[in-house]
Amino acid sequence: MVDEVREPIVDVFDEREKLVVIAELPGVEEKDIHLDVKDDIINLYAEAKDRKYSKEVLLPSPVDANSMESSYKNGVLEIKLRKK
Amino acid sequence: MVDEVREPIVDVFDEREKLVVIAELPGVEEKDIHLDVKDDIINLYAEAKDRKYSKEVLLPSPVDANSMESSYKNGVLEIKLRKK
């Protein structure tokens, strides 16, 4: 699976004033994950030695990119964003 | 995805005297992973707060269960087994 770019499993949870995005990215390190947030889209990209993930995540509402907090543990990325 | 039992992505690599099994189990802890090896079958089960995985992995040859070494990092489990 070296050169294949995979679309990760992503869930988006609407929690009133914020959105929580859960993405499954097994096999990468936190430093390998790149997130670009604009309005209601997250462009997610991660590349490690033998795994590549890419996905454009459409959000149910626009968010403040500066509010982003993210954490990665056991192959799962959690992103929190405040709605605009 | 709380109650759903998912079949994880598993790859098996045949490396002459041993087999290497790579299983993607994002979102669990190493202590949540249970492995039962018998002849040429690995029964893999993992259960965490909000994720359950289960799979019967058929190996290309029988292995010595006592030789098993495993490690879990960033959501990926690697199992090494010596062939019988």
Percent over 90 (pLDDT), chain A: 94
Cβ atoms of residues A46 and A35 within 8 Å: no
Angle (CA) A47 A59 A69, round 5° = 60
What confidence tens digit (pLDDT) does each residue in B37-67 have?
A: 999 999 999 999 889 999 999 999 999 999 9
Q: Is the pLDDT of residue A41 over 70?
A: yes
CB contact B29 to A (< 8 Å) = yes
Question: B74 vs A26: CB contact, 8 Å cut-off?
Answer: yes
Question: B76 vs A75: CB contact, 8 Å cut-off?
Answer: yes
Percent over 90 (pLDDT), chain B: 94
Assembly ipTM: 0.90
Contacts of A29 in chain B (CB under 8 A): 74
Q: What pLDDT shows up at residue A3?
A: 72
Contacts of A76 in chain B (CB under 8 A): 26-27, 75
* Number of helical H runs and strand E runs in chain A: 0, 8
User: Residue B73 is inside which H or E element, if any?
Assistant: strand B63-73
Phi, then psi, of B61 in degrees rounded to 5? -155, 160
The single-letter code of the amino acid at B7 is E
